[in-house]
Amino acid sequence: MDKLVLESVSTLVDPQPGERILDIGCGEGNHLVLFNSLGLNTSGVDASPYMIRRARKRLGERSALKVGRAEDLPFDDDEFELAVFINTLEFLDDPLPAMREAGRVARRGVFIGAMNSLSWHCLSAKVQGLFGESLFDRITFYNLWELKSHAKQAYGDVPVTWRCARMGAPLIERLCGLLLRGGYLDHYPFGSFLGFYTAMRYWVMSEQHPLKVGLKQAAPSILGGVTLGISKCSGGRSEL
């Protein structure tokens, strides 16, 4: 899985050394270790204090870690270049609030890594779940078209790119390999691991200007204090 994540992020996102990346649902920091190896400035957030403690023990000072929910991230607008969900959306009741939050804190783009609901692995796991209790019964898996629909709702008409890992079933993989050569298998939408990247497109970007006068000289606002507003629009949405 780590190899599939690294290949997908490197291919779709092309992260540059020094860029700030936030792993949402970081767990005990497996993928933060991978991103550190790419020279990225890493941060992680997870709803579980226990997982954050394990991640701190593992990573030390190499990553900034916080406890927080994906639907309400404890970070400022555009604090990172990139935000990633890796096997995180599957465990959320509703992916849209978390995706919107990721778009708020990420200046350049949002990457989603998920097990493909149309893959051989997921289909076989669902069949096995019919004959006994299974973790897969409590997870929501996604396919390419569902992620495209969610991305459009969260960010508007923004450019997306994607790739799939090779099929998990040996026979199917061999047959597809004979028919689809030269990398085309990456865009066969039934692979086990689905990598999906959404580039942020801003119609309006805020620009900071220093105040020309001191606050004591400024007239009070209607609310009785100084009000500062920052506007950010992405894909037709606006946040104030």
Whether residue 236 lies inside any domain: the answer is no
Tokens 């639907």 -> residue: 71
- Backbone φ and ψ of 7, nearest 5°: -65, -45
Residue 66 has pLDDT above 80, yes or no: yes
| Distance (Å, whole) CA 17 – CA 82 | 12
CA angle 146, 152, 158 (to 5 degrees): 125
Whether residue 212 lies inside any domain: the answer is no
Residue 229 has pLDDT above 70, yes or no: no
**Would you tell me how many other CB atoms lie within 10 Å of the CB of residue 106?**
28
Q: Report the pLDDT value the prediction gives residue 227, as an integer from 0 to 100.
A: 47
Coil, strand or helix at 2: helix
| Distance (Å, whole) CA 197 – CA 191 | 16
| Residue range 139-162, pLDDT digits in tens | 888 999 999 999 999 999 999 999
Q: Report the pLDDT value the prediction gives residue 238, as an integer from 0 to 100.
A: 46
Whether residue 218 lies inside any domain: the answer is no
Domains identified in the chain, total number: 1
The token duo for 121 is 């692995």
| Distance (Å, whole) CA 23 – CA 45 | 6
Residue 240 has pLDDT above 50, yes or no: no
Whether residue 162 lies inside any domain: the answer is yes
Distances (CA, A) of 164 to 183, 186, 188, 189: 11, 5, 7, 6
Whether residue 10 lies inside any domain: the answer is yes
| Distance (Å, whole) CA 160 – CA 79 | 21
Task: Return the percentage of the chain with pLDDT > 70, whole number.
Answer: 69
Whether residue 21 lies inside any domain: the answer is yes
Tokens 């403690």 -> residue: 53
Residue 131 has pLDDT above 60, yes or no: yes
The four Cα atoms 100, 45, 73, 50 give a dihedral, to 10 degrees, of: 120
Domain housing 179: 2-201
- By the 8 A CB rule, do 146 and 154 touch? no
Whether residue 219 lies inside any domain: the answer is no
Whether residue 210 lies inside any domain: the answer is no
Q: What is the DSSP letter of 166?
A: P
Task: Enumerate residues 6+ apart whose C-beta is below 8 A from 144.
Answer: 116, 118, 162, 164, 189, 194, 196
Residue 197 has pLDDT above 60, yes or no: yes
Residue 74 has pLDDT above 90, yes or no: yes
Beta strands 193-199 and 160-164 are antiparallel
CATH number, domain of 41, equals: 3.40.50.150
Beta strands 232-234 and 80-86 are unpaired
